């Protein structure tokens, strides 16, 4: 079967039938509700922060300046979240979920308050990094506690709620940010986090009770050297991916230097982690087939997600001629079908298993991605919207069974690290996808615009989008040429996303074990209280 961790379970309903409820979870659903509410609020904070700032960028730049570096408002936050995920995962396994979650909420709220007081762009970027340090703890620990809180058969319910919160926040973020920037002040974008976070913090402190664990024979040793190495490696790699092709050319000294330094630090990190008594990223994360395959599959999903989330809004506005709100709706339908499919996925994987359910989901996603380049030019808005509806449903059927499945193959003392590794790979996949598909889109545009009907047309995606916002300044032939160029570039990006979906399928078919080695429920929980 492969990928076992010392137990002989399998991913079927019978593997946990009749098992005792987890000792880490409250005995009744009513007792779990306050903690579940805190998890949803925490997830909402992390989710909405990725989108709410975007619509207020003009007001922020107008007030603080720093247009040339404003992209680091997003990149700095992403860097901090991504590189801290493995660290927080290990800390939650060592010291418990509650202190890590509390620290994450406090850091996030402190960063939000500091952002609201920023006096220039450099200060705001630095404070966004502080927010990201808290966001990393929120993302990983919330998902881990959700698995601790509910037994296997009930996990789809809480995970579907978290997916709904994430989808709702992603859709509502731009609208809320725009309203606050237009009718109040952009600083309220960060201040509104404070009351929401305070409620989540109170609920966690008051209602989340972890059982006392046996005292270890020796004091836990924190792998500070490994944590610093992971942080530095991730920061250099993501900086190279985010800024390459934007702030400097891909083959320039800064890009090659950052990538080379990241590779050298990655080798050093491996050496440090092999020697560490309690490594931040233990080797078993990659030695177990189940965890390694889920990491790779969700990394590929992160890669393909760049196509709809980053390039579809530009396509909708530049090619279809939609306004920002209508373009956002074309994308938002994906966030409507995703949580619905996730909530219903347990009816599928309880019958056929985690792996087969994920294969069905990714096969559907591959079909939707391959259909996008076949759309007519310029087409109607309902056509890509229908594909996004299908894509959301299939990805909901793909992601949630894998996350629940891999969490169910490890015990309490390994679940935080396992969950963090999965989320880390997904985040890195998104960063790689943004860099890779950005280079593909700009390369296609450059070749298509080489024979433009009029001279002086822009040659990169952002500049083309801005030019198409004022079509009166261009001739009809030039406008049509630019729109066709954007259409072709987007088709190439979605073809690349389909390749990523194919890679995820290959991983599931050839790397993932046929049955996930699910632990019996009494092994799947926190240690029993002392005494």
DSSP letters spanning 126-176 = HHHHHHHHHHHHHHHHHHHHHHHHS-GGGHHHHHHHHHHHHHHHHHHHHHH
In whole angstroms, what is the distance from residue 11 CA to residue 30 CA?
28
Tokens of 347: 């009816």
In whole angstroms, what is the distance from residue 150 CA to residue 162 CA?
13
In whole angstroms, what is the distance from residue 52 CA to residue 209 CA?
32
Yes or no: say if 231 and 83 are a contact pair by the CB < 8 Å rule: yes
Instruction: Output the pLDDT for position 17.
Output: 36
Cα–Cα distances in angstroms (integers) from residue 337 to residues 52, 105, 315, 332, in the given order? 22, 29, 21, 9
Instruction: Output the pLDDT for position 87.
Output: 87
Question: Tokens 């019978």 map to which residue?
Answer: 14
Instruction: Output the pLDDT for position 294.
Output: 95
Residue 46 half-sphere exposure, CB side, CA atoms within 13 Å? 31
In whole angstroms, what is the distance from residue 327 CA to residue 55 CA?
14
- What is the residue-level pLDDT of the chain in tens, covering all 531 positions? 333 333 334 444 434 433 333 434 455 567 778 888 888 888 888 877 766 777 677 788 888 887 667 777 877 888 888 888 888 988 888 888 899 999 999 999 999 999 999 998 889 989 999 999 998 888 889 888 888 888 877 787 787 788 778 777 766 776 677 777 777 788 888 998 899 899 999 999 988 887 666 565 566 677 788 888 888 888 888 788 777 766 777 788 888 899 999 999 989 988 988 888 788 888 888 889 999 999 999 999 999 998 888 788 888 888 888 876 677 778 778 878 888 888 888 889 989 999 999 999 999 999 999 999 999 988 888 999 999 999 999 999 999 899 999 999 988 888 989 998 999 899 888 888 887 888 888 788 878 777 776 766 666 666 776 677 666 667 777 778 788 888 998 999 999 999 999 999 999 999 999 999 988 765 555 543 332
User: Dihedrals φ, ψ of 15, to 5°?
Assistant: -65, -25
In whole angstroms, what is the distance from residue 350 CA to residue 82 CA?
32
Neighbours of 268 (CB within 10 A): 14
Residue 137 half-sphere exposure, CB side, CA atoms within 13 Å? 21
Tokens of 39: 């998890």
Strand partners, 248: 244
Report CA 451 to chain centroid distance, whole Å.
39
Three-state secondary-structure class, residue 244: strand
Three-state secondary-structure class, residue 205: helix
Burial class (CB in 10 A: 0-12, 13-18, 19+), 358: buried
State the DSSP string of 263-274. Answer: HHHHHHHHHHHH
Is the preceding peptide bond at 378 cis, omega within 30 degrees of 0?
yes
Instruction: Output the pLDDT for position 20.
Output: 36
* Vertex 217 angle, CA 216 and 220, to 5°: 55
In whole angstroms, what is the distance from residue 335 CA to residue 313 CA?
14
In whole angstroms, what is the distance from residue 368 CA to residue 341 CA?
15
Instruction: Output the pLDDT for position 23.
Output: 39
Of 280, 257, 285, give the one whose Cα is nearest residue 269.
Answer: 280
Phi-psi region of 187 (alpha: psi -120 to 50; beta: other; left: phi over 0): alpha
Strand partners, 269: none
Strand partners, 244: 248
Tokens of 264: 């050298």
Tokens of 81: 């979240």
Yes or no: say if 204 and 98 are a contact pair by the CB < 8 Å rule: yes
The DSSP 8-state label assigned to residue 248 in this structure reads: B
Instruction: Output the pLDDT for position 77.
Output: 86
Of 124, 132, 122, 111, give the one whose Cα is nearest residue 56.
Answer: 124
């Amino acid at each position: 079967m492969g990928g076992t961790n010392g137990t002989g379970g399998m991913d079927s309903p019978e593997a946990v039938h009749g098992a005792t409820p987890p000792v880490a979870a409250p005995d009744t659903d009513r007792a779990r509700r306050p903690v579940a509410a805190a998890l949803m609020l925490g997830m909402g904070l992390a989710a909405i922060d990725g989108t709410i700032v975007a619509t207020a960028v003009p007001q922020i730049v107008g007030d603080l300046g720093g247009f040339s570096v404003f992209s680091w408002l997003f990149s700095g936050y992403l860097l901090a979240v991504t590189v801290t995920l493995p660290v927080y995962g290990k800390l939650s396994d060592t010291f418990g979920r509650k202190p890590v979650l509390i620290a994450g909420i406090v850091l996030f709220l402190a960063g939000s308050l500091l952002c609201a007081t920023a006096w220039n762009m450099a200060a705001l970027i630095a404070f966004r990094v502080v927010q990201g340090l808290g966001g990393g703890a929120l993302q990983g620990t919330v998902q881990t506690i959700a698995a601790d809180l509910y037994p296997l058969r009930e996990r789809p319910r809480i995970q579907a709620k978290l997916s709904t919160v994430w989808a709702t926040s992603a859709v509502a973020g731009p609208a809320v940010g725009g309203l606050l920037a237009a009718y109040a002040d952009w600083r309220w974008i960060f201040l509104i986090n404070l009351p929401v976070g305070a409620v989540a913090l109170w609920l966690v402190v008051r209602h989340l009770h972890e059982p006392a664990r046996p005292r270890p024979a020796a004091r836990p040793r924190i792998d500070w050297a490994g944590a610093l190495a992971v942080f530095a490696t991730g920061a250099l790699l993501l900086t190279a991916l985010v800024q390459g092709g934007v702030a400097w050319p891909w083959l320039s000294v800064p890009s090659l230097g950052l990538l080379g330094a990241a590779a050298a630090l990655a080798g050093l990190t491996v050496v440090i982690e092999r020697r560490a008594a309690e490594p931040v990223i233990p080797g078993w994360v990659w030695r177990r087939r189940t965890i390694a395959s889920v990491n790779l599959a969700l990394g590929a999903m992160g890669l393909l997600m760049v196509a709809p989330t980053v390039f579809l809004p530009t396509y909708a506005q530049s090619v279809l001629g939609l306004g920002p709100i209508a373009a956002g709706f074309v994308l938002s339908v994906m966030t409507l079908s995703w949580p619905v499919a996730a909530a219903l996925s347990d009816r599928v994987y309880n019958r056929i298993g985690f792996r087969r359910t994920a294969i069905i989901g990714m096969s559907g996603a591959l079909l939707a991605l391959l259909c996008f380049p076949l759309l007519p030019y310029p087409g109607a808005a309902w056509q890509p919207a229908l594909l996004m509806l299908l894509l959301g449903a299939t990805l909901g059927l793909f992601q949630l069974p894998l996350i629940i499945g891999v969490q169910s193959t490890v015990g309490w003392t390994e679940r935080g690290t396992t969950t963090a590794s999965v989320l880390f790979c997904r985040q890195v996949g998104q960063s790689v996808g943004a860099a890779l598909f950005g280079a593909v889109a700009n390369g296609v545009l450059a070749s298509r615009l080489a024979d433009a009907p009029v001279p002086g047309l822009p040659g990169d995606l952002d500049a083309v989008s801005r030019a198409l916002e004022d079509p009166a300044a261009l001739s009809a032939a030039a406008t049509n040429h630019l729109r066709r160029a954007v259409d072709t570039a987007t088709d190439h990006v979605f073809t690349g996303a389909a390749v990523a979906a194919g890679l995820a399928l290959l991983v599931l078919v050839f790397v993932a074990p046929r049955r996930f080695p699910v632990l019996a429920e009494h092994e799947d929980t926190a240690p029993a209280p002392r005494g």
